[in-house]
Structure 1
């Protein structure tokens, strides 16, 4: 297994969607940071995906587009911008993953039932093996997260660590 860790749409604007969404995102960021540390320790690739939507105010260079300071992303982490829910649609993501020799896509981020689910399906369509990383998903409606995890392959960080020993 040669995994990549995708951090999808953890952007400042989404923290403004309300207290329930902000709480969900803060919880996810905590666990995403744990996974980031593990992937760095193992020298495995990390890709940050950011959504662009002018109507939402998600434009590069604007505060809402930026990542929260609490998310431990480095300048060396690859960034990809998307305009569709699926991070593979009309982006260079597939090419980047093929060039890295990746076969497994570990997915985290926002919003579980939209962009995360779409990206999971996109990975399948491109013949990658996707898995959601438990505790790293956020949603406008956090009650949807267990459903999304239940209909897709989901792995805990502890099991992922064991698999990559």
Structure 2
């Protein structure tokens, strides 16, 4: 159970699935299809979907690169959080949004695995949230030119260590898209 009091609900947190972020990402189409199926499932089950969008010099707010990919369409009633740092909680209203929704458990999808996704799952977990990373619904681009492992290894490593993440009073773990249960903790 999350260490947050009176927060029994789950939410799907969709991180940075923006044109300029996922354009060259590993298995882009498969990952976006998995995210789309989870968004639909969350909506059918009346689970909040929270959309996070990064802005920076390379992703100016309002630009085509900044927009959510055309395969996904946030509803006007769904929360949107704008950020400038890797951790989606840092200097944003994400915590207030989740608190207002009574959310203590996050199901996390998006991009980039080795940056904003990783920062956010750690940020959520240390803030007391039960945090599930959907193992086949996050991606990253190839950063091997700068010394990083290939994208498939980055994704596999993140899934591996998150599956065994532990701390008192909260749960972490991974689940494949088909295994996601918005009502059950990891």
For 1:72 and 1:66, locate their aligned partners in 2 and report how far apart those are by CA, in whole Å.
Answer: 10
Q: Which runs of 5+ in 2 are unaligned?
A: 1-7, 143-150, 163-172
CA deviation after TM superposition for structure 1 residue 163, in Å: 4.9
Deviations 1:98-154 (A, max 9, x none): 111111111000011111010000001210111101211011132111111111111
**TM-score, length basis structure 2:** 0.79
State the partner residue of 2:180.
Answer: 160
For 2:91 and 2:129, locate their aligned partners in 1 and report how far apart those are by CA, in whole Å.
Answer: 17
**More deviation in 148-157 or 38-47?**
148-157
State the partner residue of 1:150.
Answer: 160
* Alignment of 1:14 onto 2:21: yes
For 1:15 and 1:77, locate their aligned partners in 2 and report how far apart those are by CA, in whole Å.
Answer: 21
Change (3 A) 1:90 1:35: same
State the partner residue of 1:130.
Answer: 131
Q: Which has the larger radius of gyration?
A: 2
State the partner residue of 1:2.
Answer: 9
What stretches of structure 1 move > 4 A for 4+ residues in a row?
none
**TM-score, length basis structure 1:** 0.89
Between Structure 1 and Structure 2, which shows a larger proportion of helix residues? Answer: 1
The 3-state SS of whatever aligns with 1:136 is: strand
State the partner residue of 2:29.
Answer: 26
Change (3 A) 1:74 1:162: closer
State the partner residue of 2:42.
Answer: 39
For 2:175 and 2:9, locate their aligned partners in 1 and report how far apart those are by CA, in whole Å.
Answer: 15
Q: Which runs of 5+ in 1 are unaligned?
A: none
For 1:146 and 1:26, locate their aligned partners in 2 and report how far apart those are by CA, in whole Å.
Answer: 18
For 1:162 and 1:120, locate their aligned partners in 2 and report how far apart those are by CA, in whole Å.
Answer: 17
CA deviation after TM superposition for structure 1 residue 15, in Å: 3.7
Q: How does 1:8-157 map to 2 (within 5 A)?
A: 8-16=15-23, 18=24, 21=25, 23-54=26-57, 56=58, 58-141=59-142, 142-143=151-152, 144-152=154-162, 153-157=173-177
Q: Contact conserved, 2:22 with 2:140, CA < 8 A, in 1?
A: no
Q: What is the alpha-carbon root mean square deviation over aligned residues?
A: 1.6
The number of equivalent residue pairs is 158
For 2:73 and 2:28, locate their aligned partners in 1 and report how far apart those are by CA, in whole Å.
Answer: 14
